């Protein structure tokens, strides 16, 4: 008996209608993140675990932003061409760009629907990192502070004791000179001043008790006494610390090869350093010097922001954002990088990070600096990225000795003032 074409088609559709293919339609969430050399492995695992927990959603990653500033510029261009991802990981200090331009989605309605949001580990201190005008626009994904990486072998050869590493810049410079005198291409000290353009500059100013702008954000404040001490310190890093003019990539290579003794960097590179050093020498991390009264350190890292505008896409974007910043996502992120968890639950949970921290003491250095953490300052107005660049350019003149530190600071303040909102 032959079926008519209509009957056959109807039967086939009926069979498809009851099959798994249509029983659960798949959604896709597009995501873009920065710093692939740090985050690629982490986001691969996050995708696997998220899709396992949410079989109805597929995660699609767009090419990783090269760095934080590139991430912001790429997203701003995407806003013009209407090619934004549903979720974008942006530097904590660059979120303001997307809030001011009304690109970022207010997360308040999504949080309001959650049961016991703070009880899920989303502490007020971390939520503050993505809050503007009293509204949450970003969920902190990774948090960091500047720390000091030291090559135990070089420090010991130079007559120092890694277990009693200097806590002052004077002591660090003295030890750096001894390491450099070992010869054989060894570098005593390098301060990663250029990463993200101004984060390490903020670290110096804040560690001296200073601030970037006046309270009303009408004028610069980094040219006051704490800033003068900070720019003077950068000059000393070159003169007394023997700091060469290296790129961040070159400084990483020098440390990983065993040729750099003392290196200030972000805690975010702990996993990268583990892999780079690969057992060639002993190394450890220590706290960043904080010489000033009321010292603080800027909280670096990234936050997840929602750019999706369609309600259905916003729903899947929220699920992904909540997962990667929640307890499970934070555990994966910490183990795969060197950042601190943005979520309050994993650190003391034996099933998550408690045992990990016991085995990885280098990761505890940044955690010990939590009482010093303050916001990574976001400059006001549409020239945020330009301000970051001019600060970096002026710092370069100190490092390459083309300008005296005091003159560089004066020029930096003038450059930034011209770019502030009128």
Predicted confidence (pLDDT) at residue 238 exceeds the cutoff of 80: yes
pTM for the full model? 0.89
Chain segment 136-163, per-residue pLDDT in tens? 999 999 999 999 999 999 999 999 999 9
Chain segment 31-55, per-residue pLDDT in tens? 999 999 999 999 999 999 999 999 9
Task: Please report whether residue 214 resides in a domain.
Answer: no
* Half-sphere exposure of residue 306: CA atoms within 13 angstroms, side-chain side: 25
Average pLDDT over residues 332-352: 95
Q: Give pLDDT, residue 24.
A: 58
C-alpha 236: how far from its chain's center? Answer: 27
Task: Please report whether residue 45 resides in a domain.
Answer: yes
Lowest-confidence segment of 13-17, 109-113, 274-278 by average pLDDT: 13-17
In this structure, are residues 282 and 150 in contact, taking their beta carbons and an 8 Å threshold? no
In this structure, are residues 111 and 135 in contact, taking their beta carbons and an 8 Å threshold? no
Task: Please report whether residue 307 resides in a domain.
Answer: yes
- Given the DSSP bridges, would you call strands 260-266 and 135-136 parallel, antiparallel or unpaired? unpaired
The rounded percent of the chain whose pLDDT value lies above 70 is 94
Give the residue numbers spanning the domain of 78. Answer: 25-144+299-374
C-alpha 10: how far from its chain's center? Answer: 55
Chain segment 193-219, per-residue pLDDT in tens? 999 989 999 999 999 999 999 999 999
Q: Give pLDDT, residue 335.
A: 96
Q: Give pLDDT, residue 7.
A: 43
Give the pLDDT band of residue 417 (cuts 50, 70, 90).
Answer: very high
Task: Please report whether residue 221 resides in a domain.
Answer: no
Computed over every residue of the chain, the mean pLDDT equals 93
What is the torsional sign of CA 329, 335, 341, 343?
A: positive
The rounded percent of the chain whose pLDDT value lies above 90 is 93
Predicted confidence (pLDDT) at residue 318 exceeds the cutoff of 60: yes
CATH number of the domain residue 344 falls in: 3.40.190.10
Give the pLDDT band of residue 25 (cuts 50, 70, 90).
Answer: confident
CA distance 97 to 383: 9
CA distance 49 to 222: 44
Task: Please report whether residue 156 resides in a domain.
Answer: no
Q: Give pLDDT, residue 14.
A: 42
Instruction: Please count the structural domains in the chain.
Output: 1
Chain segment 239-266, per-residue pLDDT in tens? 999 999 999 999 999 999 999 999 999 9
Task: Please report whether residue 73 resides in a domain.
Answer: yes
Q: Strands of 173-296 (E only): list them.
A: 187-191, 260-266, 283-287
Predicted confidence (pLDDT) at residue 17 exceeds the cutoff of 80: no
Task: Please report whether residue 254 resides in a domain.
Answer: no
Task: Please report whether residue 207 resides in a domain.
Answer: no
- Given the DSSP bridges, would you call strands 131-132 and 135-136 parallel, antiparallel or unpaired? antiparallel
Chain segment 6-16, per-residue pLDDT in tens? 444 444 444 44
Q: Give pLDDT, residue 12.
A: 42
In this structure, are residues 219 and 380 in contact, taking their beta carbons and an 8 Å threshold? no
Predicted confidence (pLDDT) at residue 75 exceeds the cutoff of 60: yes
């Amino acid at each position: 008996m032959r079926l008519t074409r209509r009957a056959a088609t109807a039967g086939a559709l009926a069979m498809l209608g009851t099959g798994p293919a249509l029983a659960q339609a798949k959604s896709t969430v597009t995501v873009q993140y920065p710093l692939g050399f740090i985050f690629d492995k982490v986001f691969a695992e996050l995708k696997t675990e998220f899709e396992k927990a949410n079989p109805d959603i597929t995660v699609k990653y767009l090419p990783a932003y090269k760095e934080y500033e590139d991430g912001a510029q790429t997203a701003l261009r995407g806003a013009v061409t209407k090619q934004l991802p549903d979720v974008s990981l942006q530097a904590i200090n660059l979120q303001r760009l997307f809030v001011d331009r009304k690109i970022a989605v207010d997360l308040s309605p999504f949080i309001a629907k959650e049961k016991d949001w703070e009880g899920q580990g989303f502490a007020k201190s971390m939520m503050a990192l993505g809050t503007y005008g009293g509204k949450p626009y970003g969920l902190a994904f990774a948090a960091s502070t500047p720390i000091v990486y030291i090559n135990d072998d070089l420090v010991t050869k130079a007559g120092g004791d890694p277990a009693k590493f200097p806590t002052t810049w004077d002591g660090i410079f003295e030890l750096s000179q001894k390491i450099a005198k070992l010869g054989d291409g060894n570098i005593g000290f390098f301060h990663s001043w250029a990463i993200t353009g101004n984060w390490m500059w903020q670290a110096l100013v804040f560690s001296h008790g200073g601030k970037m702008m006046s309270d009303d954000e009408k004028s610069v404040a980094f040219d006051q006494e704490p800033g003068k001490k900070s720019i003077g310190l950068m000059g000393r890093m070159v003169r007394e610390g023997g700091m060469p003019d290296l790129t961040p990539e070159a400084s990483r290579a020098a440390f990983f090869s065993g040729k750099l003794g003392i290196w200030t960097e972000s805690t975010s590179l702990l996993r990268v350093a583990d892999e780079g050093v690969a057992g060639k020498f002993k190394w450890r991390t220590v706290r960043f010097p904080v010489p000033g009264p009321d010292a603080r350190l800027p909280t670096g890292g990234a936050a997840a922001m929602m750019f999706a505008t369609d309600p259905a896409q916003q729903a899947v974007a929220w699920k992904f954002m909540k997962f990667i910043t929640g307890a499970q996502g934070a555990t994966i992120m910490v183990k795969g990088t060197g950042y601190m968890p943005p979520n309050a639950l994993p650190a003391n949970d034996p099933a998550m990070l408690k045992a990990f921290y016991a085995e990885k003491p280098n990761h505890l250095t940044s955690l010990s600096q939590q009482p010093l953490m303050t916001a990574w300052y976001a400059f006001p107005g549409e020239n945020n990225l330009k301000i970051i660049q001019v600060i970096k350019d002026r710092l370069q003149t100190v490092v390459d000795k083309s300008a005296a530190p005091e003159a560089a600071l004066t020029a930096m303040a003038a450059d930034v003032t011209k770019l502030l909102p009128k």
